Structure 1
Amino acid sequence: MATEKGSGITAYSVKTKTKNVPMINPVIDVKSGRYIATGTDSEGNKMAAIMGKAAAEEHIKNGNAKKGSGW
């Protein structure tokens, strides 16, 4: 589950087992009606976070993420 910390998208890193890790260069895709932000952490590990439509549109509007496929 994605959370909003400051102005960027943060998520749980499975590899390092840490919460609220900032996502670098997130891209939000729509797959099966779900909004999924994908990106990397500062160490280059891949991350993903699922969010609602309102949160996804807000991040794109603020310039925190880019639109991906499925829009």
Structure 2
Amino acid sequence: MATTSGITAYSVKTKTKNVPMVDPVIDVKSGRYIATGTDGAGNKMAAIMGKATAEEHIKNGNAKKGSGW
């Protein structure tokens, strides 16, 4: 789900894989790390990832910390 250039996810509306997220925010809910954001067209997207991946994206500046940390 994640690449070195940023967070990507599946877009349910357009049915395409590896769509880059715009301004993702990573929240911790029930012990899961969930990145939420939008695609280029403004459609909402979400991606679930592990703790190491989430911390790496925040450290690299690809995402912001949300609630639950």
What TM-score does the superposition give when structure 2 sets the normalisation length?
0.95
Q: Which runs of 5+ in 1 are unaligned?
A: none
CA distance in 2, matches of 1:10, 1:50: 11
Aligned residue pair count: 68
Residue 68 of structure 2 aligns to a residue in which SS?
A: coil
Q: State the 1:49 CA deviation.
A: 0.2
CA displacement 1:18-68 (0-9 Å, x = unmatched):
000000000000000000000000000000000000000000000000000
1:2 and 1:61 mapped to 2: Cα distance? 14
Tell me if structure 2 keeps the 8 A contact 1:34–1:51: yes
Note if contact 1:2-1:50 (Cα within 8 Å) is conserved in structure 2: no
Give 5+ residue unaligned stretches, structure 2. none
- Counterpart for residue 21 of structure 2: 23
Identity %: 93
Q: Which residue of 2 aligns with 1:2?
A: 2
4+ residue runs over 6 A deviation: none
The CA distance in 2 between the partners of 1:63 and 1:17, in whole Å, is 27
1:40 is aligned to 2:8: no
What is the TM-score with the length of structure 1 in the denominator? 0.92
Contact 1:37–1:49 at 8 Å: present in 2 too? yes
